Amino acid sequence: MWNRRQVLRVLGAAGLFAALRPSFAQAEPRAILTRPIPSTGEALPAVGLGSWITFNVGDDPAARDACTEVMRNFVEAGGRMIDSSPMYGSSQDTIGYGLRKAGLTGRVFAADKVWIASGAEGRGQIERSRQKWQVSRFDLLEVHNLLNWQEHLPTLFAMKAAGQVRYAGITTSEGRRHRDVEQIMRSHPIDFVQVTYNPVDREVEERILPLARDRGIAVIANRPFRQGALLRALARQPLPSWSTEIDCTSWAQFVLKFIVSHPVVTCAIPATTSVAHVRENVNAASGRLPDAAMRQRMIAAVERG
């Protein structure tokens, strides 16, 4: 007998197959690509919104309003997952302000993290984060950078069992502690893993992404643009003419399409302070996606940059 995760995985793979076939995807060019969260089958738009640095604007009213517009346009364009952390300065406050002001509470997939050395203080930090977001509960909570995951992960699982959060996971970035990540993925029933993945940083393709597929774990790709450095480097060369074959109009979309076209990636979370850019980013989850051969051409094009 197949269990729930296996059935959902097959169904998800079927959806991905359709998305990866250019002709098939072309039939509905404006539809936002979604990916099933393997543990439940819930569909999630493949491009989310990060908040590292960009939403850390303090109590500056003008900057907070600008971030609110970014969130409003993100949701209007079809995005759902907004990601933050207590590590990101005032980003959580900015998100809470924007969600309330734009009336978006309940329309986003609220993803946050626990990031504190003391296991006993984890719940308290999560509650403070929730109050800043002004949401009834988080959809996803992850242990940030595996900090004291041994104590925090049981807390997240207990909260999930009590209905205080819907999904639990772990994060790392820039290739750190991948062995520990793998060990946790093998030994704990996490729903999500967040790792760095983009056309330059592809280490996770070797072990972590296959393991996520096998274990039915959703994958969030952070640092898609290497905090902007990748796009600044790529801006020195023109977008390849064949990018039109996958409906790319910018290097940002080029990079995002590469990321979300990996069959195991659930969602990429670029951060931005620009309304135009957030719409451009979400639109990367629409139109045609590259097949395996084109993904290799994309890697070559990016590495030339």
Partner 1 sequence: MSEWWTYRLTSFLLFSPRTYYRLLELYNLAIWPAQLAGAAIGIAIIALLIGGRRHHERVIAGLLCACWLWIAWAFLLQRYAQINWVAPWFAAAFALQGLLLLALGVVAERIVFSTPRGAAFWLAIALLAISVVGYPLLAPLAGRSWTTAETFGIAPDPTAIGTIATLVLVRGRIRWLLLFVPLLWCAVAAATLWAMATASG
The contact set with partner 1 (CB under 8 A) reads 53-54, 56-60, 63, 87-90, 146, 174-177, 227-229, 232, 273
Minimum distance of partner 1 from residue 86's CB (angstroms): 8
Residue 299 in tokens:
């890697």
Q: What is the amino acid identity at position 220?
A: I
For residues 146 and 218, which CB has a smaller minimum distance to partner 1 in the complex? Answer: 146
- CA atoms within 13 Å, Cβ hemisphere of 7: 7
Size of the chain in residues: 305
How many Å from the N-terminal Cα to the C-terminal Cα in the chain? 49
Q: Is 43 helix (H, G, I), strand (E, B) or coil?
A: strand
> In this complex, which beta carbon is closest to partner 1, that of residue 227 or of residue 249?
227
- Angle, CA of 17, 21 and 24, to the nearest 5°: 105
Q: In angstroms, what is the minimal distance from the CB of 276 to partner 1?
A: 16
Three-state DSSP class for 183? helix
Tell me how far, at minimum, the Cβ of 176 lies from partner 1, in Å. Answer: 5
DSSP of 188-213: S--SEEEEE-SSS--GGGTTHHHHHH
CB 94 to partner 1: min, Å: 10
Contact 119, 155 (CB under 8 A): yes
Smallest separation (angstroms) from partner 1 to the CB of 82? 18
Give the nearest distance from C-beta 125 to partner 1 in angstroms: 12
H or E element that contains 214: helix 208-215
Shortest Cβ 22–partner 1 spacing (Å):
34
Write down the least CB distance from residue 89 to partner 1, Å: 5
**254, 243 contact by CB (below 8 A):** yes
Q: Which residue lies nearer to partner 1 by CB, 90 or 198?
A: 90
SS3 85: coil
Q: Which is nearer to partner 1, 53 or 299 (CB)?
A: 53
**Where do the H-state alpha helices sit in 21-90?**
22-26, 61-76
Which H helix or E strand runs over 11?
helix 4-20
Q: DSSP for 120-174, please give it.
A: TTHHHHHHHHHHHHT-SSEEEEEEGGGTTHHHHHHHHHHHHHTTSEEEEEEE--T
Beta carbon nearer to partner 1, 117 or 293: 117
Phi, psi values for residue 239, rounded to 5°: -65, 135
Give the nearer residue to partner 1 in terms of CB position, either 181 or 259: 181
Nearer to partner 1, 88 or 167 (CB): 88
**Choice between 8 and 204, CB closer to partner 1:** 204
